[in-house]
A and B are shown apart, each in its own frame.
Chain A
Amino acid sequence: MRSRLTFRGTLASMAARALMKGLLGLRPSRAVMVGYSVGGHHYSTAASIKPPPPQIDDSNVTDKILSLPLEKPDFFRVSELVSLKELFDARVHLGHKKGCRHRLMEPYLYGCRLDHDIIDLDQTVEHLQLALNFTAHIAYRGGIILFVSRNRQFCHLVENTAKDCGEYAHTRYWQGGLLTNGNIQYGPGVRLPDLIVFLSTLNSVFQQHVGIRDAAKMNIPSIGVVDSNCNPSLLTYPVPGNDDTPVAMELYCRLFKMTIKRAKDKRKQMELLQGLCSTGPDRL
């Protein structure tokens, strides 16, 4: 089985996930998926020693499962989860003072009310929908999602969110070689995250989190909640919004958790459907 990147504080979820992956690996459709893994070791399971025709059907089936969601603009209906009123009530539009403003955040600001920056919620809604849609697709394809936040007030909340949706979180000190030196720190053939979600892009000393630059280095897409004092340039899908209010953070955590769960349930549903449709005996 592929080795997992261990993150402090989520060993229970990691073990559960490894177990789940192991169980899935025994199923015939997954055996072909192993061949498509990113940099993992290829182990041959008993299920892979099957006669050729069902394998070709399997690859077609998995291709169909993977390509179907990309055809629709909102396959997972994430636009229902986000509403402008909800964002306003959660005080997502409140930015920092004018003096703390980052010049690259100026396009995302609605205005400045008595030196307080107000974030444009129309833009936030669009960006949030894009980000949630991307997360859903990654979770649907069985990608690893890593939640990062160095804000100590919400570290417990973020870790619980990750545990609830079966993904990973890293809310402690970020060691320099976590991603860039993963092979030596965690052993050879480590599988790195396929998406990193920054619920706060600043670290404890109000500088940009090292993880953003590292994710760009390792060609990993990143989603990040950027406040008016953050730099959104390197993030693949920035979401302009408040990252200091508890209500706002709870909202983001809830939204990400719901999308990931939705996507994973959809995946199970699709696999069952395809399994029923295809004409092979004893598929499961």
Chain B
Amino acid sequence: MAGSRLERFGTVFSRVRNLMHSGVIKLPEKPIWYDVYEAFPPKRVPLHVKPHTRLCTKKRETVPEVFYKEDNIRAKFYEHYGMGPLPFDLSKSNFVSTCQRFVDKYTEIKSRNAFEDAAVFEETGKALLTEGMVLRGRGARSVSAESRDPVLELKLTDMLAERQSISASSEEKMGCTMHTQTP
């Protein structure tokens, strides 16, 4: 069967159509897909596009960045509290993360009373604490009221100094007895 192997000129359909018009492809040899393509053409004509070798100097229209209003709240949350206590479970499509709960609460409080952003932030933290969600803050900031173990407060230098003083006092005692024993 005759055909045209020029994939860079025209489309598959245009080449076959022209071959049929010129009589190179007879009607019984028409491809199966020809009528279907004619009835249901694609959205974009499948022409070959030459690759750009030279860099485009003019600004091209880029794909838009996707940002939401809640992203401001999310950014503040991550800056303050780091990663939430709960890991993300992406296998569930209806999963609500710690951050998302925070954002929902924030928008709710904001809509109820028109406070400042910082005040609403504090309110949200306290509201979530009452609901039972513990948020460990980054650095010294922490919403939870857990007291530190007194053992952790001990410093190594203090312990060593204590040791040394004990050993010095025992040496003195030893020294006295030694002295008395030697003739």
Binding site for B on A (CB under 8 A): 35-36, 38-39, 66-67, 70, 89, 98, 101, 103-104, 106, 109-113, 117-118, 126-127, 130, 133-134, 137-138, 141-143, 180, 194-195, 213, 215-221, 231, 233-238
Contact = CB atoms under 8 A, between A and B. Distances in A.
Given A112-B65, A126-B43, A216-B48, A195 B33 contact: yes
B47 A233 contact: yes
10 contacts: A109-B63, A112-B64, A134-B33, A216-B46, A218-B3, A219-B3, A234-B46, A236-B11, A236-B13, A236-B37
Given A130-B43, A238-B44, 13 more contacts: A98-B63, A101-B63, A103-B52, A130-B42, A134-B36, A141-B32, A213-B7, A216-B12, A219-B16, A221-B13, A233-B47, A236-B11, A236-B12
Do most interface residues of chain A lie in helix, strand or loop, or is the interface mixed? mixed
Contact of A70 (B39, B61, B66): B39
B28 A143 contact: no
A113 B12 contact: no
A231 B31 CA distance: 26
Contacts of A180: 5
Q: Which of A36, A109, A234, A235 has the most CB of B within 10 A?
A: A234
A70 B35 contact: yes
Q: Which of A134, A221, A233 has the most CB of B within 10 A?
A: A221
Contacts of A220: 12
Nearest to A85: B93
Do most interface residues of chain B lie in helix, strand or loop, or is the interface mixed? loop
A180 B63 CA distance: 38
B40 interface: yes
Interface residues of B, number: 38
Given A109-B63, A130-B42, A235-B46, A219 B31 contact: yes
